[in-house]
Amino acid sequence: MAKTVAAGQKAPPTAKGRATRQAILEAAEEVFGELSYDRASIAEITRRAGVAQGTFYVYFPDKKAAFIELVHVLNHNLRRAISEEVAGLDSRFEIERVGFRTFFEYVVEHRPLYRVVRESEFVDPETHRWHYQTISESYIRGLAKAQGEGQIADDVSAETMAWVLMGIAELIGARYVQWEGRTPPDEVLDDVMTLIRCALSPRGVSE
């Protein structure tokens, strides 16, 4: 899990402090993912992180603050992973395929993401909205750019497209990652891309 800091949080000034904070967040990802927010305890998080319980409070005022920070970290790292993988690609449909595959690979590696994000709706609704809105913003920009270039249909708003595609990715991922602990098979990704091409191709254009 790469290092990042949510709005309102300050990164520790020393390398040791950053490493300790990172260890706490990685342990929090495990504990929240396995036990849920309500059952998770600071004691269990610090035990897995290998630090004293009092050390937790050097970096976070309470369990909720660590949970919110974890959502920010997972969100940031997911967006960065996708951005790095699609960098340099020009075809919107290739970007979609690589983006979907990268999302599936990320959530296999970070399976607690599903539980953490879903629980955030109840732990902190503002953070829950922030998570999806932040992901959608860059998605919308990319789709709008592709519309302007004539790569995809422009009779549906880029915003609507983005949220529909996000829903497909999340539920297909849940079907295979959550139930079977693996990325969707290639043939499933092929099916997804067939549907996306049918929905997004410029009207009157067949590929």
pLDDT at 12: 73
**DSSP-assigned letters across all residues of 38-76:** TT--HHHHHHHHTS-HHHHHHH-SSHHHHHHHHHHHHHH
Q: What is the DSSP string of 151-183?
A: SS-SSS-HHHHHHHHHHHHHHHHIIIIIHHSSP
Using only the alpha carbons of the chain, give its radius of gyration: 19
pTM of the model: 0.90
Residue 86 contacts by C-beta under 8 Å, 6 or more apart in sequence? 95, 98, 99, 102
Class (C level, CATH) for 63-200: mainly alpha
Q: Per-residue confidence at 207, pLDDT binned at 50, 70, 90?
A: very low
Check whether 11 has a pLDDT greater than 90: no
- Give per-residue pLDDT as tens, 25-72: 999 999 999 999 999 999 999 999 999 999 999 999 999 999 999 999
Average pLDDT over every residue of 175-191 = 96
What helix, strand, coil percent values describe the chain, rounded to 5?
75, 0, 25
Average pLDDT, the chain: 93
- Is the confidence at residue 3, as pLDDT, over 90? no
Where do the structural domains in the chain lie, given as residue ranges?
9-61, 63-200
Nearest to 159 by CA among 191, 192, 132, 129: 132
* CA separation for the pair 66, 70 (Å, rounded): 6
- What pLDDT, on a 0 to 100 scale, did the predictor assign at position 10? 59
- CA 4 centroid distance within chain: 14
Structure tokens at 141: 């920009």
pLDDT in tens, 84-127: 999 999 999 999 999 999 999 999 999 999 999 999 999 999 99
Give the DSSP H or E segment for 205: none
Provide the pLDDT for residue 204. 61
**Phi/psi class of residue 153: alpha, beta or left (left: φ > 0; alpha: ψ in -120 to 50)?**
beta
DSSP for residue 201: S
Sign of the CA dihedral running 76, 137, 161, 204: negative
The CATH fold assigned to 9-61 is: Arc Repressor Mutant, subunit A (1.10.10)
For 32, the token pair is 């929240």
